[in-house]
Chain A
Amino acid sequence: MKTAPSFMDRKDLLALAVLAAILLIAFPVLLDGFRLNLVGKYLTYAFVAVGLVLCWGYGGILSLGQGVFFALGGYGMAMYLKLEASSVENTKIQSTPGIPDFMDWNQLTELPWFWQPFHSLPLTILLILLVPAFFAFVIGSAMFKRRVSGVYFAIITQAIAAIATILIIGQQGYTGGVNGITDLRTLHGWDIRTDSAKFILYFVNVALLLAVVCFAMFVRDSKLGRILVAMREKEDRVRFSGYSVANFQIFVFCLAGVFSAIGGAMFTLQVGFMSPSLVGIVPSIEMVIFTAVGGRLSIFGAIYGALAVNFAKTSLSESFPELWLLGLGGLFIAVVLVFPNGLAGIWRDYVQPSIDRAFKLRSKDPADPGHDVAKQASTLPAE
């Protein structure tokens, strides 16, 4: 039995190593540039999914508005890239040179104030992290302090996602409207459209994801992680044990928001545009399904979930678009009714035991009996 709560036990380290090997070695070796870029795009959703594991799986707070945070990160990055692509020289045919093309088309004659900070890369990076955290903090403070949680929180975050989409589409002079911000070229002078840039960005993306995963594991294995579980189960007991429940909820909601924003920024860099189609109700709830499919209590599961669902989406919707919606709908229902612990649950219940058994047969090492009871115990009942 482990006595000290060290973050990451042997199993986690192994899982991390396997994940790193798949993402850093197997994929780059096996996939061509186009496919690798696609995987990179899927992995940007994994940031959101990891955030949702903490927020929803552990904390019991279901946000149906994660697309908004994804967009805040994505648009932040896109605004910087767009400004760089809209130098006076590049835009001299416009009636107002030096501003993004869509602003010119919408008769804007100067850059709006909230675009100004995005001239600077350090400021942009800072804002990509701070703006979503601020929004999450405001939404979270307003609601968690008033004890709004559960379905009400889900509905209100969904409404916020809807509002954000309408706003972005409606204010096309400031946001690029329904087309989003497109035609992005360079990051601080470095052309991101080349194959080599995409290759490098893939690794940057994976490195950031692994860092986020490690931080998420640190949070999960700290006392805060256990308080999240406790809150999910008996909010009042936690409150009357001297904790300000709302503060913990706000923290985890902000954290999930920031993770999503990092994913959004990496999406813009790798895919080369940002548009409102990634913000609204539908993408936001799809991000939840990535988490649910991977296993809402499994950080690693969330990543495999995001990859698996998106692989399926790409391959199915290419060849049988009508099957995809039916499949996705069925997935929502199945993951709730039959596999509430998702891929991680299937792994733990069916694959892991047989691996353990095979391992036991070959070596005399006693299989370690003390793998963290709490982690194993954090299982949802099937019904």
Chain B
Amino acid sequence: MFGDYSLGDLGAIFAMQGFAGLILFSVYLLMALGLAIIFGQMGVINMAHGEFMILGAYVTWLTSVFFSEHLPSLFGIYFFVAMALAFCASGALGMLIEWTLIRRLYKRPLDTLLATWGLSLILQQTYRSVFGPREVGVTLPDWMMGSLPVTDVIEVQINGLFVMGLTVLITTAVFIMIFRSRFGQQVRAVVQNRQMAGAVGIDTEKVDRLTFGLGCGIAGVAGSAFTMIGSTGPTAGQLYIVDTFLIVVFGGAASLFGTIASAFSISQAQSTLEFFLSGSMAKVITLLTVVGILMLRPQGLFTLKVRR
């Protein structure tokens, strides 16, 4: 399989595929982060997570259209405005859903799964009715076009680099929020012992709603970043939901570090395999490996052994 390539070629191939894998890693990580908070911390299965992401993507698209028509001079920075709007839109919808639907189902995880699947169908149809069935793509600002040559055979796309940078930033922000802020402390307190947290004066219902909103908001940002490297359609979210859940479960549901490690290994494996096999077989082998490992080690990569 390697015989046809020279050593230098192989190095370049691995570097290029590695870079492609890093972009995939960014997308996976961004999607999985929100889910890791909702599923990992709250134990809620949100099958509509992909649709929250798509909402962010559509908001970004709308913003880009608005800027190009009304504020063309500021088009270079529309993305940052769009990202903030995407976070707010998805977060607000998330809080609304938590209030109307999820909070009635905290003790019935399997039913949550079915209800949120229903929600995802409704959202998909709504997107189709509002934005049309065709995929939409945003126009990138000029500074994000093109690629940077690293060596004469390796070059990297700027939009990809940008998304990677964004991922690092968002991940850092989430970590600070969960592990350093007072809100994060409350979230962890509620996760570990709901009754006790309530007893010491934490408004657990409010924390639940904000946590769910935060997870959905991050999904929105992920969708926003997603528009930089791909187009958006009404059902795009559903394509990723299985991968995203596998990433979170594979990482060990309660571990944010695990989510990063698992997003990294899965995306690298998949993009490297993709070069040698057809895309679908690369995906099948990656997913099968993950499922196989999960069958042998259901707790995922990173877990704490706790006294039950």
**Interface residues in chain A, defined as those with a beta carbon under 8 Å from any beta carbon in chain B:** 56, 60, 62, 139, 142-143, 146-148, 150-152, 154-156, 158-160, 162-163, 166-167, 169-170, 281-282, 285, 288-289, 292, 322, 325-326, 328-333, 335-337, 340, 383
Contacts and interface: CB of A to CB of B under 8 A. Distances in A.
B118 A148 contact: no
A154 B110 CA distance: 8
14 contacts: A152-B298, A156-B291, A156-B295, A163-B284, A282-B238, A285-B117, A325-B124, A329-B119, A329-B120, A332-B115, A333-B101, A333-B122, A336-B115, A337-B101
B114 interface: yes
Given A151-B109, A162-B287, A322-B129, A332 B281 contact: no
Given A155-B246, A162-B287, A163-B284, A329 B125 contact: yes
Contacts of B121: 325-326, 328-329, 332
Interface of B: 45, 101, 104-105, 108-115, 117-126, 128-129, 238, 242, 245-246, 249, 278, 280-281, 283-284, 287-288, 290-291, 294-296, 298
B263 to A, nearest CB: 16
B104 A337 contact: yes
A329 B122 contact: yes
A217 B35 CA distance: 40
Given A156-B295, A336-B115, A337-B101, A151 B45 contact: yes
Contacts, number: 118
Contacts of A156: 249, 291, 294-295
Contacts of B117: 285, 332
A289 B110 CA distance: 12
B287 A163 contact: yes
Contacts of A325: 121-122, 124-125
Contact of A322 (B128, B242, B287, B288): B128
Nearest to A281: B242
A363 B93 CA distance: 57
Contacts of A150: 109-110
A143 B298 contact: yes
A155 B249 contact: yes
The A contact surface, by secondary structure, is helix
Q: Which of A56, A139, A281, A340 has the most CB of B within 10 A?
A: A281
A383 B105 CA distance: 8
B122 A170 contact: no
A200 B296 CA distance: 47
B287 to A, nearest CB: 5
Contacts of A331: 118
A288 B114 contact: yes
Contact of A155 (B112, B245, B280): B245
A151 B253 CA distance: 12
Given A330-B122, A332-B117, 14 more contacts: A60-B110, A152-B294, A155-B246, A159-B291, A163-B284, A169-B280, A170-B280, A322-B129, A325-B122, A332-B114, A333-B115, A333-B122, A336-B108, A383-B104
Given A322-B129, A332-B118, A158 B242 contact: yes
Given A148-B298, A154-B113, A333 B118 contact: yes
B116 to A, nearest CB: 8
B246 A159 contact: yes
Contacts of A166: 280, 283-284, 287
A15 to B, nearest CB: 26
B31 to A, nearest CB: 15
A256 B167 CA distance: 43
A159 B124 CA distance: 21
A170 B281 contact: yes
A383 B111 CA distance: 11
| A-B CB proximity, top 10 nearest | A332-B118, A170-B280, A329-B121, A329-B122, A142-B295, A325-B125, A329-B118, A333-B118, A148-B298, A336-B115
A159 to B, nearest CB: 5
Given A170-B281, A325-B124, A151 B119 contact: no
A155 B300 CA distance: 13
A285 B122 CA distance: 15
A331 B287 CA distance: 31
Contacts of B110: 56, 60, 62, 150-151, 154
Contacts of A162: 242, 287
B111 A170 contact: no
B250 to A, nearest CB: 10
Contacts of B296: 142, 146
B298 A146 contact: yes
Nearest to B291: A159
B105 A146 contact: no
Given A166-B284, A170-B281, A337-B104, A292 B114 contact: yes
A160 B249 CA distance: 14
Contacts of A154: 45, 110, 113
Given A159-B242, A322-B128, A336 B114 contact: yes
Contacts of A56: 110
Contacts of B45: 151, 154-155
A152 B128 CA distance: 31
